[in-house]
Amino acid sequence: MRVICLDIGEKRIGVAVTDPLDITAQAVETIWTKGFTKDAERVMELCRQYGTDRVLCGLPLNMDGSEGFQAERSRAFAQVLADSGLNVRFQDERLSTKQARGVLLEADMGRRRRKDYIDQLAATYILQGFMDAGGWKDDIARKPELKGVWHMSENMNHDLDMEREDIVELVDEDGQTVRFEHLMTLEHEGKPYICLVPVDEMEDVGEDELVILRIETDQEGNDVYATVEDEAELDAVFEKYLEIAEADEE
Classify residue 125 as exposed, middle or buried by CB count within 10 Å of its CB (0-12, 13-18, 19+).
buried
Q: What does the angle CA 25 – CA 27 – CA 33 come to, to the nearest 5 degrees?
A: 125
Q: What is the pTM of this model?
A: 0.53
For domain 3-132, which CATH number applies: 3.30.70.890, 3.30.420.140, 2.160.10.10, 1.10.3720.10? 3.30.420.140
Classify residue 145 as exposed, middle or buried by CB count within 10 Å of its CB (0-12, 13-18, 19+).
exposed
Helix axes 69-83, 36-50, angle to 10 degrees: 60
**In the chain, which stretches have pLDDT less than 70?**
62-65, 94-116, 138-165, 202-208, 248-250
Q: For residue 159, what are the contacts with CB-CB under 8 A and spacing of at least 6?
A: none
- Beta carbons of 43 and 156 less than 8 angstroms apart: no
Q: What is the largest CA-CA distance in the chain?
A: 72
pLDDT at 203: 65
- Domain borders along the chain are 3-132, 141-249
Closest CA to 185 of 208, 226, 151, 213: 213
- Beta carbons of 4 and 95 less than 8 angstroms apart: no
pLDDT at 129: 85
Q: Beta strand 12-18 with 3-8: parallel, antiparallel or unpaired? A: antiparallel
